[in-house]
Structure 1
Amino acid sequence: MPLPLYLLALAVFAMGTSEFMLAGLLPDIASDLGVTVGTAGLLTSAFATGMIVGAPLVAASARHRPARSSLLGFVLVFSAVHAVGAATPSFPVLCVTRVVAALACAGFLAVALTTATRLVPADKKGRALAVLLSGTTVATIAGVPAGSLLGTVLGWRATFWAVAVLCLPAAVGILLGVPARRVRRNAADGPPLRAELAQLRSPRLLLAMLLGALVNAATFTSFTFLAPLVTGTAGLGEHWIPVVLVLFGAGSFIGVTVAGRLADRRPGQVVAVCGPLLLVGWPALAVLADRPAALLVLVFVQGALSFALGSTLITRVLYEAAAAPSMAGAYATAALNVGAAVGPVVAATALRTAAGDLGPLWASGLLVALALLVASFSRGVLPAGTVTTNRP
């Protein structure tokens, strides 16, 4: 894999740290700004909503600009709004900074996903995506737990400042490693925007986006509220929150790495194996969450399964959107973040049910069940190959 991919992954690491770090900071933010934990969880939805809206809009506006200048600008804006978020005493202002950060992150990912797939042969998109998403999984292993620990010691604002600073070396890496001109395979400008947007009428593309969104919604439904699960249901101390986040991140890294080698040619096998296991895993975690040893094991397993299945489905989005070279990354980003936006809202609702802290886990199981149901019914409606065959 080419070096620029790893430099892009460094920036994704900084952004992934920001996106996932709230899982360990919600109680602190809620207490400091005078809101409930469920309300504070909507910060995750605000970020995801900004990414859903921003991905196609920013990608469309940046499609004729050099990749390096676009990526650099997005990273610098991302850094600046985190500094503002760290300084504000207002929850609404913090929400606004999350939306702006999401717009910058959406633009970055949309351009980065497109750039990554153009840096590798046509049949290596899954591996390129795995390298890029490794920035996110490493963030859950190192960045998010470190942010949670920093927040525990110095307060949540220190974690926001750390993300702002972390973006700076990523910006330098982009400046030095990404080609200044657009990365294209030929001199043609590619299809017009209208033709690229018309790809959204493809049933197979929409199916891949829907399945990716459902699986990611299941992931975020539970991941966003792991902290109260650890300290409440499991009865562990706050210092265990970073440990649980590390385990989830380690599992996600393994899952996305393994899936990256299978997603190009064996996506159906990944779905057939990971889907049912993920479906069983969330309810199992709900039943066994009061047993710390079982909690630690299942968090690791669910991280691996969630990211293996989710990254495979997002790879299918890139394949099905191959006729939209500038917008494919935006479609994949939107699919990911529809799930990321829906998940915390579902979780906040589930927390108010009789299941309490276990509600998000049961809700995650229902979302995975819905995804598998949609996938099974699609076999008789859509041509084989979206997620059910080994077609690259």
Structure 2
Amino acid sequence: MSARFRSSFPLLVLALGAFVLGTSELAVAGLLPWISADLGVTTGTAGGLVTAYAAAVALLGPPLAAILRGVSRRHRLLAALGAQLVGNGITAVATDLPVLFAARALTGAGAALYAVTAISLATALVGPDRRGRAVSLVFGSITLATVVGVPAGTALGELLGWRVVYGTLTVATAVVLGCAPLAVRGSASPAPADAPADAPGRLADLPWSRLRVPFAVNAVVTAGHYAAATYLVALLTEETGIGPAAVTALLVTTGVASAAGTFLGGAAADRDTRRAVVGAAAGTAGGLAVLSAVMSLPALAWPAILVWHAAFSAFSTAAQVAVSERAPGADLPAATNISVFNTGIAAGSSLGGLLLPAAGFPVLTLTAAALPLAGLLLLAARSERAGAQGRGLGRIRPVGRAARPGRGR
């Protein structure tokens, strides 16, 4: 085994785990017709499986990070993969809806723990100067699941049944679980995988007051994105007026744009975190605002949608980097930020569901665009206060480490 492969193998395993996680989470939506028919329930009732997963991620991520803060990252990663293995396995064989709901919640809890642990391990493996790329590796692999894993899962479910899909995901999770002990050896990084994730004595020292604005900005921008993104297919078919084949093509290119935005956001955050956050939030607002004006013109709506999705993916990565820079090496703030992200998803989709029937697509997209702008105003207010106190324009100064020259945060 070459030295280059040995150094990249842990990152490949973490990325594969994130890909399987993303496919497991998102494949349910494409399989709902077969799940509802198999279990004898309505599609709307079966759709609650998506909610159960998202609620588990949002509600259980921070408590699990706090409870397991003294457990090594290696063991936390194995526990997270074990929960996903059991959850996907039960999903594949469950014959009644309550058991299926419990299985999805268990898988979501494992996903919440896996995401934050994988991010901190990847960051430790590449070092603080490449923190953005480490975060984008995990987030980007989840995004790639929407482009590759979910369509493949839907096609497999149509051919062989939805249970085969989750049986396959169970096997894939087992493969990642088998590789994980080799990938996360304690000597592999400057922050060993055998070290506790968050030492109990450190929790009181975490800069929670300085994390409030990043959390709030993440929630507001995410809500704006999902207020419109949740109803994108309806917008394309009812307002833009394109056919099924074009909708499929646009969704695929949107997934590619999102994946590209994730990796570009990570690279940009490594250069200047604050500018990456601001630029990506502005791009999200701009794409949505343009879409509201040109949604009846497919040739113009398509690039606006691509810009919007790429910018939001870049924002999500940069926002996670901003939190990890304010509290380096601490997993609980990262877990809280992931929970905030999922809260933004729920709030945004609910807001869109209220606005769409009452005001229509143009008002919905304009409102969605206004929320990222509100996030930028929060950042501007934070910068003004920081400047008044003589700390510069809202720069992030990591705990226990001086800010590097040339790095605006």
Coarse TM-score class (shorter-chain normalised): 0.7 to 0.9
Question: Where does residue 336 of structure 2 map in the other structure?
Answer: 331
Superposition deviation, residue 315 in structure 1: 0.4
- CA–CA distance in structure 2, aligned partners of residues 96 and 16 of structure 1: 18
AA at the equivalent of 1:306: F
- CA–CA distance in structure 1, aligned partners of residues 230 and 33 of structure 2: 11
Q: 2:272 aligns with which of 253, 266, 270?
A: 266
- CA–CA distance in structure 1, aligned partners of residues 365 and 46 of structure 2: 19
Which consecutive unaligned segments of at least 5 residues does structure 2 have?
1-6, 398-405
SS at match of 1:381: helix
Superposition deviation, residue 104 in structure 1: 0.5
- CA–CA distance in structure 2, aligned partners of residues 236 and 318 of structure 1: 42
Question: Where does residue 385 of structure 1 map in the other structure?
Answer: 394
Normalising by structure 1, we get a TM-score of 0.83
1:60–1:308: structure 2 CA closer, same or farther, 3 Å change rule?
same
- 2:208 is the alignment partner of 1:201: yes
* CA deviations over 1:81-137 (Å, ceiling 9, x no partner): 234335556555544333221111011112112212222222221121122222112
Range moving further from structure 2, 133-142 or 146-155: 146-155
SS at match of 1:353: helix
1:230–1:240: 8 Å Cα contact kept in structure 2?
Answer: no
- 2:318 is the alignment partner of 1:305: no
Range moving further from structure 2, 51-60 or 291-300: 291-300
2:285–2:308: 8 Å Cα contact kept in structure 1?
Answer: no
1:222–1:169: structure 2 CA closer, same or farther, 3 Å change rule?
farther
1:314–1:117: structure 2 CA closer, same or farther, 3 Å change rule?
same
Superposition deviation, residue 11 in structure 1: 0.5
Range moving further from structure 2, 171-180 or 310-319: 171-180
Question: Where does residue 263 of structure 2 map in the other structure?
Answer: 257
Superposition deviation, residue 48 in structure 1: 2.6
Aligned counterparts, 1:7-22, within 5 A: 7-22=13-28
2:78–2:180: 8 Å Cα contact kept in structure 1?
Answer: yes
- 2:181 is the alignment partner of 1:175: yes
Aligned counterparts, 1:346-361, within 5 A: 346-355=351-360, 361=365
- 2:145 is the alignment partner of 1:136: no
Question: Where does residue 83 of structure 2 map in the other structure?
Answer: 77
- 2:341 is the alignment partner of 1:341: no
- CA–CA distance in structure 1, aligned partners of residues 68 and 357 of structure 2: 42
Equivalences, count: 388
- CA–CA distance in structure 2, aligned partners of residues 104 and 222 of structure 1: 28
Range moving further from structure 2, 244-253 or 6-15: 244-253
- 2:65 is the alignment partner of 1:63: no
1:144–1:114: structure 2 CA closer, same or farther, 3 Å change rule?
same
AA at the equivalent of 2:353: A
- CA–CA distance in structure 2, aligned partners of residues 87 and 377 of structure 1: 52
Name the Cα RMSD after superposition. Answer: 3.5
- CA–CA distance in structure 1, aligned partners of residues 319 and 278 of structure 2: 12
- CA–CA distance in structure 1, aligned partners of residues 37 and 240 of structure 2: 21
AA at the equivalent of 2:332: M
1:221–1:170: structure 2 CA closer, same or farther, 3 Å change rule?
farther
1:162–1:189: structure 2 CA closer, same or farther, 3 Å change rule?
closer
Normalising by structure 2, we get a TM-score of 0.80
Aligned counterparts, 1:1-392, within 5 A: 2-22=8-28, 24=30, 34-35=41-42, 43-88=49-94, 93-151=99-157, 159-179=165-185, 185=191, 192-193=199-200, 195-196=202-203, 199=206, 201-202=208-209, 204-238=210-244, 240=246, 242-322=248-328, 325-355=330-360, 361-382=365-386, 383=391, 384-386=393-395, 390-391=407-408
1:235–1:290: 8 Å Cα contact kept in structure 2?
Answer: yes
AA at the equivalent of 2:394: G
Superposition deviation, residue 306 in structure 1: 0.5
AA at the equivalent of 2:375: A
Superposition deviation, residue 311 in structure 1: 0.9
Range moving further from structure 2, 343-352 or 373-382: 343-352
Superposition deviation, residue 181 in structure 1: 7.6
- CA–CA distance in structure 2, aligned partners of residues 25 and 44 of structure 1: 11
Percent identity, please: 27
- CA–CA distance in structure 2, aligned partners of residues 134 and 52 of structure 1: 20
Range moving further from structure 2, 365-374 or 178-187: 178-187
Superposition deviation, residue 41 in structure 1: 5.8
Superposition deviation, residue 142 in structure 1: 1.2
Q: Which has the higher contact order (CA 8 A, sep 6+)?
A: 1
- CA–CA distance in structure 1, aligned partners of residues 198 and 376 of structure 2: 34
- CA–CA distance in structure 1, aligned partners of residues 320 and 146 of structure 2: 19
- CA–CA distance in structure 2, aligned partners of residues 142 and 317 of structure 1: 29
Superposition deviation, residue 51 in structure 1: 1.3
1:113–1:228: structure 2 CA closer, same or farther, 3 Å change rule?
same
Superposition deviation, residue 167 in structure 1: 2.1
1:291–1:152: structure 2 CA closer, same or farther, 3 Å change rule?
farther
2:274–2:322: 8 Å Cα contact kept in structure 1?
Answer: no
Which structure has the larger Rg over C-alpha atoms? Answer: 2
* CA deviations over 1:181-229 (Å, ceiling 9, x no partner): 8965489868642532552532x21211221222233333333333434
2:136–2:266: 8 Å Cα contact kept in structure 1?
Answer: yes
